[in-house]
Structure 1
Amino acid sequence: MATDTTVPPRTAAALKRYQVMAYVVGVMLLVLVLVAIPLRYGFDVPEVSKVVSPIHGFLFIVYLVTAFDLALKARFTGKGTVLVLLAGVVPFLSFWAERRVSRRVLAGQPL
């Protein structure tokens, strides 16, 4: 995605980090919810969940840090910050939130 030249370089860098982590966490959450958990509880195969769960947990913490960093640099409202942080908890929501946040940050609109 091309960045707008009116976005300060530090904000553009924070946005890129957020975009990457939003996708990574979204994919890992889908793997956890659609593959690992059904295997664990539906088919009594806990090994996948034992690997995927801690990886997702670590990546989610990285997502929180990158989203909060972007919120500070782009001057999100408190409500906007909380909503972006929570977007990584609901499957598919991080993908939608990333697109919305990216468009608004690049347009210089508050969130």
Structure 2
Amino acid sequence: MKNIFRIISFLEGVSYLLLLFVAVPIKYFQGDTSYVKMLGMPHGVLFMLYLVLAVALKKEMKWNVRKLGIVCMASVIPFGTFYVDKKYFQK
């Protein structure tokens, strides 16, 4: 389950960065909403999977509520999922 979470975490982080730093500027500077529409749904699905897997991993990783909160909050901060991977999953 940890490996699946790490993969979803990486994909969620990349999709968030693409949405935030590529699609949104194109939307507001060029008026083209197609990139937001194209990246928005996959990012939303990955975000939900990230949260569900984080809650499922709480017991396995022996996280307290504070650590679970940090892991969940990291999903809304740019580069946060990469921080979680480095801090909690790499040996």
TM-score band, normalised by shorter chain: over 0.9
Structure 1 position 94 matched with structure 2 position 81: yes
Q: Give the letter for the 2:60 counterpart.
A: K
Structure 1 position 48 matched with structure 2 position 35: yes
Larger-gyration structure (1/2): 1
Q: Give the letter for the 1:83 counterpart.
A: I
Structure 1 position 15 matched with structure 2 position 2: yes
Give the structure 2 partner of residue 6 of structure 1. none
Within 5 A, what are the aligned runs for 1:64-83?
A: 64-83=51-70
Report deviation, 1:71. 1.3
Using structure 2 for the length normalisation, give the TM-score: 0.92
Q: Give the letter for the 2:36 counterpart.
A: S
Q: Give the letter for the 1:34 counterpart.
A: F
Percentage of pairs with the same residue: 26
* Structure 2: tracts of 5 or more residues without a match: none
The alignment yields a C-alpha RMSD, in angstroms, of: 1.2
Distance between the aligned counterparts of 2:55 and 2:4, measured in 1?
A: 11
| Count of residue correspondences | 91
Using structure 1 for the length normalisation, give the TM-score: 0.77
Where does structure 1 differ by over 4 angstroms across 4 or more consecutive aligned residues?
none
Distance between the aligned counterparts of 1:15 and 1:25, measured in 2?
A: 15
Which structure features the higher share of helix residues?
2
Structure 1 position 34 matched with structure 2 position 35: no
* Structure 1: tracts of 5 or more residues without a match: 1-13, 107-111
